[in-house]
Structure 1
């Protein structure tokens, strides 16, 4: 923005990762997904607790004709004009061991006839105990107690992995900007050297010590250096915008990335990484959840082969024209119902569903074995790349130092006319490529390290697991 003051912000890699974890859109999406899973888990937990309900109709007014059957069997219509109100308070509890539900109820009904023989009527149920119980059907509550905690564990692991994935994205953007900075530094140095060398070449040409072709080559190098610097400036702006957007920084912020010097002291073995991954990665919880869900589908299909349900209610009831009288002279109130549904002829439909559910479970088990094998293979390759990268990084660092010293020596040698422009250009290109290669190898090292962290949810440098205060994050962010 024109006229706005630019703020320079020096950022280390660790600071960039920390900002990305809290400020990026990806981090916000991961947190929202965790919140969804958290409230789903809370809802499941609430189903295991007692529930108190109050329901009422205050009032219900009716003024209508209703059919009435006479003693002869014929029908006539009777006009009704009445007011009705009722209320009920219930305390219910799901029984996870059996899958049934028990409830304690109290209710009161009021009826007032508004035409003809006007009267009031009260009916009370001071207390009633109700049991609803499926006998052979699947116990959904029991299965939820097995599945839902695993699902929430999977969600928490997914949140931690997503946070590490945000770090991986931040690392990529950070090193892209760092590479753009290095390219600009290289281009600026090359332009400065090209100008100096061109001036020296003009003097040498005047003294007849170099050919006209060499002078033209030096001028062409100068033009190429100016063009390269312009391209590097454009590329840096693009990388800057990308990283600023990720970190939610203002347009006037000029980020200056610092080349990481310290590396995590972590010697990672495949066996150790695999053990940590199988204990902590979301894949482990996902495999367990999907196995349970497949078993649940089989249990539901088998439970639907026959259905028997029990309903029982015991309590007291009273009725009177007066409110107080409805709670005196109470009488027993019992209801017992047993209903069942047993298929006599369904052409094998229910048993077919059982076979389908069992087949789906076998397919799921095969897929899960394949997923675990692929996961182990990918982790093995990643760990091997990380271990090799430590050596590659040291090689590229030494190559960068040697190429820089070689180019500096060749510049001095060119000044006294001992080497040609072609040799000088070759050393310059080698120096630039060595520096770029070092930055790229540095990026690959950090990328591999954080990919392993994302899969294992383990900080190998600190020797501890990657965890979070989920309750705090959900409340405060």
Structure 2
């Protein structure tokens, strides 16, 4: 990129019409397609999508097979005898099992329902014994009581996280576009500096030639001749410095966007779009589209979740487990299906702290204070968020007017310099007046590029703050 910029700097006028020159939209499109920051934003979005898929799968039936095949064991193991003594016996057994389970989480209560079928086979090779234990059908329920219901809170939080990740992706792309615009104009600014410096070198060379002729004729003082030589040296120094600055700016743009060196030079953009935007309208769109709005809600819910977690992990806690089904055992697998027997199991386990020296109260109080702090932080950030959107929308029209004024000043300054240069050549104004006109021309050109940069950056910044395209009147999230 830097080598092509050098060729651009050597012929600035031709470079503006060079067919290979890239425009700002083209650079943005290329960077969004191939830059590392764009790929990182896409990866983050994809991670949010797969986390959402994981959440959805949690609420769907889970079918699984589990077992132990084989469970062979050949060891010497201690065996308690009827008289209470221990004898060591050599055993050679196989204890295998295979189970098919279908489970479903209950988001409303935080419990789980399981339907299972299991068969177990036991072989005693030393005793030539084989037994089957078959449970063709079993229905089980596990229900926490007084515990934290993570499934219920995930149902409230995960949709927000997913929507936030998708909106965040769009917002990050807009922020990337804003940053590319800033880097793009860094290069353009140096191109313009180089163009101005190159034109000044040519003009000062011509003025020095005329001044030397006048000095030989005694119509120019030595002081003015030296001033002309100094102006030429200053212009040449400006060319060298602008080349270095252009190289640095081009490398920064290249590193951020991933553009190849052949992607330069860059064209000076037209004026940025400046549709009329009311601050209230911009704020409405920001509230509808921005990921930050969802993030505020998510953070408040997470703070509430921590309070519920503190309550659900302290105090009274219990778990109800119930199972019913059919079971039978026999020496032959098919015989286990005859004369099946009913099987029921009900169990309630609980824990209740009696004396905890204020532990439960401390945990709950900490969570509540954290929630209060989060609420205060969110309120403050929300106010700052609204102020940023409204200020940026209000500034958009001002930036457009400043750009129009800077463009007019640039045109007038160039015309004034052309007139001053022609007037100096016929000896009707002083060198000081010409130098002032030259400085005003250069300053006006740089001011125009800076105003153009501010207008384009403001355009993309408002898009990033609202996720809305006011030029096409449509949300960017679509």
- Residues 6-85 of structure 1 correspond to what in structure 2 (within 5 A)? 9-85=20-96
Determine the C-alpha separation between the residues in 1 that align with 2:91 and 2:352: 43
Aligned partner of 1:456 among 463, 466, 469 = 466
Corresponding position: 1:111 with 2:122: yes
Question: Following TM superposition, by how much is the alpha carbon of 1:385 offset from its aligned partner in structure 2, in angstroms?
Answer: 2.8
Corresponding position: 1:282 with 2:284: no
Question: Following TM superposition, by how much is the alpha carbon of 1:416 offset from its aligned partner in structure 2, in angstroms?
Answer: 0.1
Corresponding position: 1:291 with 2:279: no
CA contact (8 A) 1:8 1:256 kept: no
Corresponding position: 1:255 with 2:276: no
Question: Following TM superposition, by how much is the alpha carbon of 1:254 offset from its aligned partner in structure 2, in angstroms?
Answer: 5.1
Aligned partner of 1:365 among 368, 375, 393 = 375
Determine the C-alpha separation between the residues in 2 that align with 1:238 and 1:439: 18
Cα distance change of structure 1 residues 2 and 255 upon mapping to structure 2, 3 Å threshold: closer
CA contact (8 A) 2:2 2:251 kept: no
Q: Number of aligned pairs?
A: 465
Question: Following TM superposition, by how much is the alpha carbon of 1:49 offset from its aligned partner in structure 2, in angstroms?
Answer: 0.5
Corresponding position: 1:395 with 2:402: no
Aligned partner of 1:385 among 387, 395, 410 = 395
Question: Following TM superposition, by how much is the alpha carbon of 1:262 offset from its aligned partner in structure 2, in angstroms?
Answer: 4.4
Cα distance change of structure 1 residues 93 and 443 upon mapping to structure 2, 3 Å threshold: same
Q: 2:13 matched to which residue of 1?
A: none
Could you say what secondary structure the match of 2:71 adopts? strand
Deviates more, 1:284-293 or 1:231-240: 231-240
The alignment's C-alpha RMSD in Å is: 1.9
CA contact (8 A) 2:197 2:235 kept: yes
Q: 2:109 matched to which residue of 1?
A: 98
Could you say what secondary structure the match of 1:59 adopts? coil
Query: Deviations along 1:17-55, whole A, 9 cap, x unmatched?
Result: 222222211111111111111111110111011101111
- Residues 332-347 of structure 1 correspond to what in structure 2 (within 5 A)? 332-347=342-357
Cα distance change of structure 1 residues 164 and 436 upon mapping to structure 2, 3 Å threshold: same
Corresponding position: 1:219 with 2:232: no
Q: 1:306 matched to which residue of 2?
A: 316
Q: 2:97 matched to which residue of 1?
A: 86
Deviates more, 1:76-85 or 1:365-374: 76-85
Could you say what secondary structure the match of 2:69 adopts? strand
Question: Following TM superposition, by how much is the alpha carbon of 1:186 offset from its aligned partner in structure 2, in angstroms?
Answer: 0.4
Determine the C-alpha separation between the residues in 2 that align with 1:300 and 1:65: 49
Cα distance change of structure 1 residues 340 and 3 upon mapping to structure 2, 3 Å threshold: closer
Could you say what secondary structure the match of 2:339 adopts? coil
Determine the C-alpha separation between the residues in 2 that align with 1:186 and 1:383: 34
Question: Following TM superposition, by how much is the alpha carbon of 1:243 offset from its aligned partner in structure 2, in angstroms?
Answer: 2.3
Question: Following TM superposition, by how much is the alpha carbon of 1:181 offset from its aligned partner in structure 2, in angstroms?
Answer: 1.0
Question: Following TM superposition, by how much is the alpha carbon of 1:220 offset from its aligned partner in structure 2, in angstroms?
Answer: 1.3
CA contact (8 A) 1:125 1:315 kept: yes
Determine the C-alpha separation between the residues in 2 that align with 1:94 and 1:268: 49
CA contact (8 A) 1:8 1:254 kept: no
Determine the C-alpha separation between the residues in 2 that align with 1:161 and 1:107: 52
Unaligned runs of 5+ in 2: 8-17
Determine the C-alpha separation between the residues in 1 that align with 2:218 and 2:255: 56
Scaled by the length of structure 1, the TM-score of the pair is 0.94
Could you say what secondary structure the match of 2:264 adopts? strand
Unaligned runs of 5+ in 1: 469-477
Query: Deviations along 1:401-457, whole A, 9 cap, x unmatched?
Result: 110000000000010011111111111111001000000011011111211111111
CA contact (8 A) 1:393 1:442 kept: yes
